[in-house]
Amino acid sequence: MYDFTYHKAASLDDAAKLLASAVDAKPIAGGQSLLPMMKFRLASPSDLVDLGTIAGLDRIEAEGGTLTLGAMCRHGAVCTSEVVQKTLPALAHLAGLIGDPAVRHRGTLGGSLANNDPTADYPAAAVSLGATIVTSKREIAAEDFFTGLFETALEPDEIVVAARFPVPEKAAYEKFRNPASRYAMVGVFVAKFPDVVRVAVTGAGASGVFRVPSFEEALSKDFSADALKGLSISTDGLAGDIHASAEYRAHLVGVMARRAVAAANG
Amino acid sequence: MNVTLTVNGETRSAEVPPETTLLVFLREYLNLTGAKTGCDIGDCGACTVILDGKAVNACLMLAAQADGRDVITIEGLATREGLHPLQKVFEETGALQCGFCGPGVILSAKALLDENPAPSKQEIRNALAGNLCRCTGYVKMIDGIQEVAETMRSVPTPALPAASKGEQKHG
């Protein structure tokens, strides 16, 4: 990796100032995506601002039908948290499917959201659950937050502070993993609220997470795996690579969605 | 920049460039070459060390991020009295072949047993999910880890060396 200047942020304000003051500064949380990208020289920030030293960013709180997770919550902490397991077990399950134990001990929720890898797991949960991303400047609805391939609505000196997940009646996440990288070839998060059902897909879209309106409509009328029988999605906008063609990914979206609904219904 | 951390119970310190990973810090500044440089991007687990009780990839951390924290490497397991039970069972059963993945596998296993003294086979598999072994097929490792767990549970005083100072000197 290229050299850079390293800063330990003392507070969120301090981090924001450091990010704004350098030419091409980036925040670093767990570093499980950023450090490999820097080693590949796909990223070469002039400065790294370490958020790991800021206190209070790893809170896990459930209150009034909302689960709030701090941006520095490690995937391992989310998957083993009794609060998450009790309030939103689908999210605990999702966190436990990310990477391997070593990656889960370092990788963070905020880092995953801000990176918006098209095969990352958290974006599907955030969109399906209608999460709110709380930043150092404002609050952004998850659907407005993810804007494209590795792109988000975040400004250069804006930092993810937390994510608020509304607690659904039922939810589940089903992931078809790439057996080598353990990233989602296709991952489908299904959430049922009293007034709405949302289905969000990661891994399949060429430009990241997306919703499936036809599935949502069918599930709103009948929240059962059978309601999705015969429904499929178009290959337009889907990713195709050596691991899976767009056609295969489209097929997997249907299969994973049906499994997720079945799992949500327990 | 200065990085100071506890490695195998001893305070260690070095002046390093910011881009130094924890792995490079351990191998090149402290001459602890037990953690291996494999893929260097977090896929293979050959560089696994234990950071504040959790298995992590040393290649995917800056040394600066480990500043002030507690690291255990494979060099910290054996004592003057002998090998760590995990090392011993791996040696006795031939659980390793070329050995390159060994330090990482053993530390992932130690982190698991420290948290969960009675893991199931599936829990052991999950704990080793980030450690690639291209020789063995993992079977003897998994059996060995379960055997050690059983032995350690049956011994009133754990045979593990404590992570405290003084008992971690290299043999």
Q: Above 80 in pLDDT, residue B157?
A: no
Q: Characterize B95-104 residue by residue with b for buried, 16 or more Cβ atoms within 10 angstroms of its Cβ, and e for exposed.
A: bbeeebbbbb
Looking at the predicted structure, is the pLDDT value of residue B170 above 50? no
Q: Is A49 part of any domain?
A: no
User: Nearest-5° angle of CA B117, CA B122, CA B126?
Assistant: 85
Asked if the model's pLDDT at residue A155 lies above 50, the reply is yes
A52 occurs within a structural domain: no
For the segment B26-72, what is each residue's pLDDT rounded down to a tens digit?
999 999 999 999 999 999 999 999 999 999 999 999 999 999 999 99
For residues A161 and A175, state if they share a domain. no
Same domain, A119 and A163: yes
pLDDT at B169: 44
Contact A80, A74 (CB under 8 A): no
B19 contacts A102? CB cut-off 8 A = no
pLDDT at B166: 45
CB nearest to A32's CB, from B54, B60, B127: B60
Give the CATH number, domain containing residue A69.
3.30.465.10
pLDDT band at B155 (very low <50, low <70, confident <90, very high): confident
- Nearest residue to A60 via CA among A145, A164, A173, A141: A164
Q: Provide the pLDDT for residue A182.
A: 86
B 26-55 → A contacts, CB under 8 A: 40-43, 45, 48, 51, 54-55
Q: Tell me, what CATH number does A224's domain have?
A: 3.30.390.50
pLDDT, position A181 = 83
Give the pLDDT score at B92: 96
pLDDT tens digits, one per residue of A86-109: 999 999 999 999 999 999 999 999
**Interval B67-94 mean pLDDT:** 96
| pLDDT above 90 (res A36) | yes
CA distance from start to end of chain B = 31
Q: How much is the ipTM here?
A: 0.93
**Which chain B residue lies closest to A34 (C-alpha atoms)?**
B60
| pLDDT of amino acid B156 | 62
CB B133 within 8 A of CB B71: no
Q: Say whether both A174 and A163 belong to one domain.
A: no
Q: Name the band, by pLDDT with cuts 50, 70 and 90, for residue A122.
A: very high
Considering only CA atoms, which of B62, B156, B114, B119 is closest in space to residue A36? Answer: B62
Q: Which of A140, A167, A194 is the last residue of a domain?
A: A167
The CATH code of domain B2-76 reads 3.10.20.30
Question: Cβ of B19 and A1 within 8 Å?
Answer: yes
One-letter identity of residue B78: A
| Residue A53 in domain | no
Nearest CA distance, B55 vs chain A (angstrom)? 5
How many residue contacts between A and B have a Cβ separation below 8 Å? Answer: 76
What are the domain boundaries of chain B?
2-76, 85-153
When scoring B15, B41, B44, B57 by the number of chain A Cβ atoms within 10 A, the one with the most, hence best to mutate, is: B57
The rounded distance, in Å, linking the Cα atoms of B149 and B158 is: 10
More confident residue, A247 or A182: A247
Task: Specify whether A70 is located in the same domain as A148.
Answer: yes
Q: Tell me the pLDDT tens digit for each residue of B87-134.
A: 999 999 999 999 999 999 999 999 999 999 999 999 999 999 999 999
* Greater pLDDT, B19 or B160: B19
- Going by CATH, does the domain composed of B85-153 fall within 1.10.150.120? yes
- Given a contact cutoff of 8 angstroms between Cβ atoms, the answer to whether A178 and A77 are in contact is no
Instruction: State the pLDDT at residue B171.
Output: 41
Given a contact cutoff of 8 angstroms between Cβ atoms, the answer to whether B26 and B35 are in contact is: yes
CB contact under 8 A, A50 and B57: no
Cβ-defined contact of A105 to B54 (cutoff 8 Å): yes
Average pLDDT over residues A223-235: 97
In a domain, A94, yes or no: yes
- Residue A221 included in any domain: yes
A124 and A147 within one domain: yes
* Residue ranges making up the domain that contains A9: 5-44
Let me know whether A162 and A76 are in one domain.
yes
Interface test with B, best of A48, A105, A117, A181 (most B CBs within 10 A): A105
The CA distance from A182 to the nearest CA of chain B, in Å, is 10
Residues 6+ apart with CB under 8 A from A29: A51, A52, A71, A72, A108, A110, A111, A114
- The answer to the question of residue A51 being in a domain is no
Q: Is the pLDDT of residue B163 over 70?
A: no
**Contact A4/B19, CB-based, under 8 Å?**
yes
Same domain, A139 and A236: no
pLDDT greater at residue B6 or residue A181: B6
The count of structural domains within chain A is: 3
Asked which of A128, A147, A167 is the last residue of a domain, the reply is A167
Q: Which of A167, A183, A198 is the last residue of a domain?
A: A167
Are A194 and A130 contained in the same domain? no
**Chain B contact set for A93 (CB, 8 A):** none
My answer on whether A215 and A237 are in the same domain is yes
